[in-house]
Amino acid sequence: MNQRWSSLVELLGEKGHLTEQWKRPFLAVDRERFIPETIWRPKPDGRGYLPVRRDEDPVAWREPIHRDEFIVTQVDDGVPARPDGIGRSITSSSSMPGVMAAMLKAMDVTDGLRVLEIGTGTGYNTALLCERLGSEQVTTVEIDQEVSTHARAALASAGYTPALVCADGEKGWPGRAPYDRVLSTVGVRGAVPSAWIEQTRPGGVIVTPWATAYLAFALARLVVDSDGTASGRFADRAAFMDLRGRRPDRYIPQPDDQPGATESTSPLHPWHVTGDFQGGAFAVSVLLPDCEQDVAYRSDDRSAYELLTWDTAHTSWATVEVNPQAQDAGRYPVRQYGPRHLWDEIEAAYAWWTRRERPDYTRFGLTVTPGRQWIWLDHPADTVREFL
């Protein structure tokens, strides 16, 4: 085993991400053999992704494999969308080992459990499950044929033979249900798929990244009850690509092309509602799940930038400008356009979070029933936002 990888495994254990029962699988499974011959890295200007081919630059190709980094393994569903072979959007990746370890820890597995994995990807996480539980206990579903084919070959070459299905993971895989654990390596926006709950045994656990259009951040750990409901808290940080059937559109408003915005200033620094992932930003994402946001930097040192928010219905937008002058004054220029005043709504959501004594994201939870799904604070009876 590569010494750098062994050191990383030890570090993940020291940080509490990697439990003793998962340490052996992490040491036994070689991540490198699951990485495709071509990976992708961001362009220096941040606009798009460039290919890194193993046969052309083996050092650059291998460098991220033994670090706690995610590796982009596919762009634009396998066909780079920009000229000259440049990728526009990430559509498959090998996740950060630290995040994978946290998700596996949250599953709380014991010998003999049957696991359904949603999103095979490279097959590396599947191999970890097979190493820990045995290939016969693992079912994995991948929607992309090219990705699935690569994973199947990599798993076979490593000696693992799980049930690997090329299908839409949002529907689970009823053919081998019920499962004791469901692990999703793709993000869920809003409502958790009912199929996952229906295919999980009572007392079983579902672990999935959960997100809204505003923020992709939290890891939900849900325990399934005998009445077909599931409930649990957010356990850790985890940002993944969305289920393919729930991808957001690529619409971004162009404020400079739409005159007539109202102008004001705000004392609220945008970082508190976009960068404070564990607190204010998470609360805003729950209260305003139909809003999106993006940042455009105005300076190389990132001391000047503009926050842009808009609603998913494409009716309204707001911008907030951050620069040294605004920082000194403690007032940030705001423009708002459309029937909704989105920055006012964000300020109100942030004020709600402040009144509730600034709860950390781990105090929030999610409950799913056949006819209703909602986010709560501290207890399922304290509803914060319904999604169904």
Q: Which residues are catalytic?
A: 95
> Position of tokens 């005159």?
259
DSSP string, 207-228: EEEEE-SS-EEEEEEEEE-TTS
CA–CA gap between residue 131 and residue 79 (Å, rounded): 33
> Position of tokens 């009716």?
315
Q: Give the contacts of 173 (CB within 8 A, at least 6 positions apart).
A: 116, 139, 141, 163, 165, 167, 199
**What b/e readout covers 323-338, taking b as 16+ CB neighbours within 10 angstroms?**
beebeeeeebbbbbbb
Answer whether 118's CB lies under 8 Å from 144's CB: no
CA–CA gap between residue 138 and residue 131 (Å, rounded): 10
CA–CA gap between residue 157 and residue 152 (Å, rounded): 9
CA–CA gap between residue 313 and residue 293 (Å, rounded): 13
Burial class (CB in 10 A: 0-12, 13-18, 19+), 293: buried
CA–CA gap between residue 16 and residue 73 (Å, rounded): 27
CA–CA gap between residue 323 and residue 326 (Å, rounded): 5
Answer whether 285's CB lies under 8 Å from 273's CB: no
CA–CA gap between residue 145 and residue 309 (Å, rounded): 35
CA–CA gap between residue 119 and residue 125 (Å, rounded): 10
Task: Enter the DSSP assignment of 334.
Answer: E
**What b/e readout covers 113-138, taking b as 16+ CB neighbours within 10 angstroms?**
bbbbbbbbbbbbbbbbbbbbbebebb
